[in-house]
Amino acid sequence: MEFITYIDIPTTDLNIDHSTATMLLGSCFASRVGNRLQQHKFNVDVNPFGILYNPFSISGAIRRVLQRRGFTEADLVKHQGMYHSFMHHGDFSSPDKEAALKKISSRFEHAARAIRETDLFLITFGTSHVYWRMESGEVVANCHKFPEGEFHRARLTVDDIVEEWNELIGMLLEIRPHAKLLFTVSPIRHWKDGAHENQLSKSILHLSIDKLQRNFADHVQYFPAYELMIDELRDYRFYDEDMLHPSPVAEEYIWQRFSGTFFSDQTRVINTEWARIRKSLEHRPLHPDGEMYSQFLKDTLLKLDTFSKKYPAISCQEERNELIAKINRHTS
C-alpha cells in the first residue's frame, strides 16, 4: 500500500555534469538549487540580479545581460537612506552609492561573460503578479518599500508571458543554438495574495511553461519541484516554521529527485567524493592549535590534491589556497 502520491518524473536526455555551464535565475528555489550545485563544485552562475519572482523581471534581467548594458549611478534610486536598483533584489542595496553600484556591476560583468558560454538556463517562476512603476512604466523586481501608490499591481496572462519568452528564448538560441532551458515553478505559496489568488497565479505560470515547452520542444524542459512539494510532500512536517517554505528535509528530498533525474551515476559518485572533502574543509576543531589538527589539515590537503588530479576539470584552487594558508598559520 502506498501512503503518498508519488510523482513520476519522465526520463530526460538532459544531463547535467560538472562541465555544464549553468545559469540560474528566479525565485528562492533557483537560489537553493544553485547553492547546492555550487557546494558540489558545478559550474554555475546563481541569480546575478538576486532573487527575482516574476517572469518579466527575470526576462528583463536576461535581456539586459545579453545587451551588455551595464549599470550607472543613474540606475540607482535612494529611499530611506539606502540606494537601490529596481532591477535587483535588496541584497544589492547599500547606504553607500558606490558600494551598491560596485556589487551590481561586479555580478553583472560576470554574468555578461558567462551567458555567452552557458549550456543550461534553469529558470524558476515564483508569481505571475508584477508591479509596474508608474513613473517609468517599468516592471520592478523589488519595490524596496517605496510607497505603494508609486506602483500599479497586475497579474500577467499566459499570452503575456509566452509572447515575452518566445522572443527571449529565440535570442538565447541565436547565441547558444544548443542551449537548454529547464523551467520550474516555485513551490513556495504567496499566501499574502490569498489561497485562491495564489492558485490562479501558479496556474498561469504552469500553463505558460507548458506552451513554451511545445513551442521549443527540443530546448525547453520542466522539472516538477512544485508538484513534489505540494503533492508528494503535502504533510506540514515537510514545511518550515512559516508553513510556506520547504523544510530542510523537503529541500534535501527535492534535491535528491533533481539529482536522480539529471545526474549520471558518475556525476553522483563525484558529488559523494567531494562531499567528504567539503565536510573536512568545513570542520571546526575543538583545539585548533593542537598537533592533531595540524595533521588533519595536511591530510585534507592530500585528499584535495588527489581529487584534483582525478578530476582536473573541477577547479579546487580556492579551497587549496585556503588550506595552505591555514597550514602556514598553524606552523608559523
Domain boundaries, the chain: 22-263, 266-332
Neighbouring C-beta atoms of residue 28, cutoff 10 Å: 17
CA distances from 143 to 65, 120, 151, 152 (A): 21, 29, 8, 11
CB 42 within 8 A of CB 22: yes
Determine the Cα–Cα distance for residues 270 and 16; give it in Å rounded to an integer.
13
Residues 188 and 245 sit within 8 Å (Cβ to Cβ): yes
- Using only C-alpha atoms, the chain has a radius of gyration, in whole angstroms, of 22
Structural domain 22-263, CATH architecture: 3-Layer(aba) Sandwich (3.40)
Q: What is the largest CA-CA distance in the chain?
A: 66
Hunting for cell 544553485 — which residue is that? 34
pLDDT computed for residue 209 by the predictor: 98
3-state secondary structure of 84: strand
Cα 59 from Cα 164, distance rounded (Å): 8
**What element of type H or E holds 85?**
strand 82-85
Residue ranges of alpha helices (H) inside 121-157 are: none
pLDDT at residue number 332: 67
> What's the distance, Cα to Cα, between the start and end of the chain in Å?
63
- 46 alpha carbon, distance to own chain's centre: 5
Residue 18 near residue 59 (C-beta atoms within 8 A)? no
Integer Cα distance of 273 and 1 in angstroms: 36
Asked whether the whole model's pTM tops 0.75, one would answer yes
Each residue's pLDDT tens digit in the chain (332 positions)? Answer: 677 788 999 999 999 999 999 999 999 889 999 999 999 999 999 999 999 999 999 999 999 999 999 999 999 999 999 999 999 999 999 999 999 999 999 999 999 999 999 999 999 999 999 999 999 999 999 999 999 999 999 999 999 999 999 999 999 999 999 999 999 999 999 998 899 999 999 999 999 999 999 999 999 999 999 999 999 998 899 999 999 889 999 999 999 999 999 999 999 999 999 999 999 999 998 888 888 998 999 999 999 999 999 999 999 999 999 999 988 887 76
